[in-house]
Chain A
Amino acid sequence: MIPAQTGLAARGHVQLKRVSVGYGGHRVVNEVSLDMPSGEFICLLGPSGCGKTTLLRAVAGLVLIEEGSIMIDGVETRGLPAHQRGIAMVFQDLALFPHMTVYENIAFGLRLKHLDRRAIDAEISSILMLLHLKELRDRLPRQLSGGQQQRVAIARSLVVRPSVLLLDEPFAALDRKLREELRREIRALQRRLGITVVFVTHDQEEALTLSDRVAVMNAGRLEQIGSSDEIYERPVSRFVMNFVGSTNFLSVADVERYDKETRCKLTGQLVILSTTKTPEKHQDRQYELAIRPERIRILDEVSPPTANRISGIIRDVTYEGASVIYEVELADKQRLLIRQQNTGEQQQPGRTQLGKSVVLGWAVEDAIIFAAAK
């Protein structure tokens, strides 16, 4: 059994080796390998049904794995019940015990460890302080606000001193402001306590802002793991690029890969990209150019020249306040979106721009070629 955290040795090192959940043809999690060092804040990100929650529950011990192994601090977890793994979990609906007060909810796990009353009291007092819950200790869950309930759920988990904290989309039901506030709090808590946190979410903005690393999952498989900027700037697959942030996908032809650069034709015009941005092997298939809206610029007389230039006509303008979105139609009728920051220096964006011919440009490093989605 993994003893409760006492010393300062690095704890909470989670190793997933080719973990699979589900049978033969229908695997919910398919050979996922992941190494989470102690003290890391990692997000499992993906659309509904990608297996991220199942994977989390497998680490918790609520779900049996068919193949592979999950090790926590070097100990194989197969056969170990949840409470002996050194983990704690915050559920999506919080799962606060409705008939118990805040104090009793938090005390539940401690009482099961047969600590004496004074020790329990002390532990709870300190955790209540840590999460600003002191005045609420005798309230029932239904008497608390959403944010307060969240904190109680977190407190209940942290009080048992886990090495790994698992969270299953805990903030999904909260409004924006509260969500941001709680994100900051949980991050601060994690840094302070030095525990490993595995956070499941489908909200890519949340994943990018919160974590040290993001693990993007799709249909049971791990698509990519990396830091936020790696995931955003250097996505390894069409799925990752499409899921995180917004992207334009444009059909291109005659893709030719050279040593230092890759060339292709977009609406008949030559486009050059850096070869490092062509992760897919050159095969005889349809290809798409992927580029993010904020990386395309509308060129005018004073703009510095770019390697790639394409002309088009503005078909729609959306004013978002801090930015402006232009929808531009290219010569072959393909459309793309451009996001420009509203610096106030440009001409007034608006209906006057509609129908205007423009020249678009972007740098060689800003686009990626992927095989087209089937």
Chain B
Amino acid sequence: MLAATSSSVPMSAVNRGPSDAPPVLRVDGVRKSYRNLEAIRNVSLDVGESEFVSVLGPSGCGKSTLLMMVAGVVDPSAGEISINGSAVIGPRPEIGVVFQQPVLLPWRTVLDNVLFPIELLKLPRAKYRPRAMELLAMAKIDDFANHLPRQLSGGMRQRASICRALIHDPSILLMDEPFSALDAITRDEMGVELLRIWQANRKTVIFVTHSIREAAFLSDRVLVMGRRPATIIEEVKIGLPRPRELAMMESEPFNQYVRRLRKSIEASHAQ
């Protein structure tokens, strides 16, 4: 049933989240085709509570589509996705999404952008305002709460969009290549920041990326996706200690993981 179980790499034999706990997210035999084009073929995965899982694959392999299906805005052609045991049939409040672009509303201040999901969910704005300020402080942009997005740098905007995704206290955070529009230096910093925020909130994170180093640095587990039609070809558990620091990117264990992931991706290309 699980695509990754056929892999020869020993570590990939376990495709389940942290052992005993029931999965927060279960993707079971999901396919997606557009007319004749098969975008995703038979993807199954479980993600446990507070787990940080990356989906790593080349651009255009369908990993964003997978994420949008989990978010409930794209319907799978076959298979089932369930969150906390109930099937996903549309967008739901226990999910927060961070996109490739910050997609902030230009006419709203940073604070009002962060509170936007609260308005959409018809929750009391005043009650969530302190939480919004807390999140902004954690993302170190509370000084810019009353600024318009255009007055912020790209990295700051993306931080604001992470705060927005967390404002309604979702149990799952979906991130769709959130740092790919940023320069390399900002990108590394944002990774560290994200882990810090994650450490404090302990959300379940599904992080889609095409950066091998990013996936290895951030994750508990990396699922490697092959070319279209996409399916999960390997799973690698990242045993690096937490909290993780940028210096780890120089370490030998880290580079071993990077090599392993690269080999796995190259193998999928050779097919």
A is bound by B: no
Give B contacts to A, CB under 8 Å.
none
